[in-house]
Amino acid sequence: MGKEFYRESEVGEYSFDGTITGYEEIIKIKVTAEEVETVDFQDKNSEILRYGKLELPRTTVATTTSGRKITSPIVWKYTGNITGVNMVESNNYNRVNTDFIGNHNIQGTVLSRLNLSYPYRIEIKDDFIYYSGTLGFSDVTMRAKKDGSNPTVFFSGKLVHIVGDYIYYYQGGNLQRMKLDGSSKLVYSDITSYNNIIIKDDYIYYATYDGIYKKNTNGTGNTLLVIKTDGYKFTHFSLFEGFIYYDAYYPYEWIWRVKTDGTINEIVGKYY
């Protein structure tokens, strides 16, 4: 796919073709850029107890100049006078922090439905495209039909992989997973990095500052495969035919591989 979706564009019709690694079909997306005339949303007042939860709408309906109705995401921002406080939680852009007593103003910005900055991962499952990017000031994962229609905010957080009926994502500082219907949520408290994560069969392979680990997808077990020593950096990380390939300084740029059961750890090449 292209490096980014439209953030600003002239009114008109646009067609895009793209490819995704491991997926044979050409992905076709047609975009019609129109002006928005009205938004179906009114000012609201809500009362809530301190430390309670207030969920704000994630989307609203906008009507374009042609009369079409589209679902557009809303990004919320605190506009009150408490200095240094963000009343909208950073990892959940539609939830209000209610720790402070008083009257608070929260303002929403309605965005174009394709106004997703810097998409960094796209995956396809059945009849849907799942893609992550930045919406306003938050990382979100969107879901749309394969023809690009009906895009919605699926959840706040970064998409990692879709394996079987599970979607793996990074949210709140940890790798997490849930079924595509939103059930069976699981948090991997010891996996705190978004990068260098591979999910294969029933295992998660991931790299940290300390080394390369292997963990069961059900959350049990945590096997250290490679101990990180001075010079290792783990910036490249790939799984192929039972081996994890990674790079390390020793003292040059060496390419290593370790077997997924940890029995073999050897140098296979170098580059300068």
Q: pLDDT value at position 3?
A: 35
* Whole-structure pTM value: 0.60
Q: CA–CA distance from 163 to each of 51, 152, 167 (Å)? A: 36, 21, 6
Q: pLDDT value at position 168?
A: 95
Q: pLDDT value at position 111?
A: 63
- Eight-state DSSP code of residue 250: S
Q: Encoding tokens for residue 129?
A: 């495209």
In this prediction, the residues of the chain whose per-residue pLDDT falls under 50 are: 1-9, 91, 114
Residue 113, Ramachandran bin (φ over 0: left; ψ between -120 and 50: alpha; else beta): alpha
Q: pLDDT value at position 39?
A: 61
Contacts 24+ apart (CB under 8 A), 40-48: 41/74, 41/108, 41/110, 48/96, 48/98
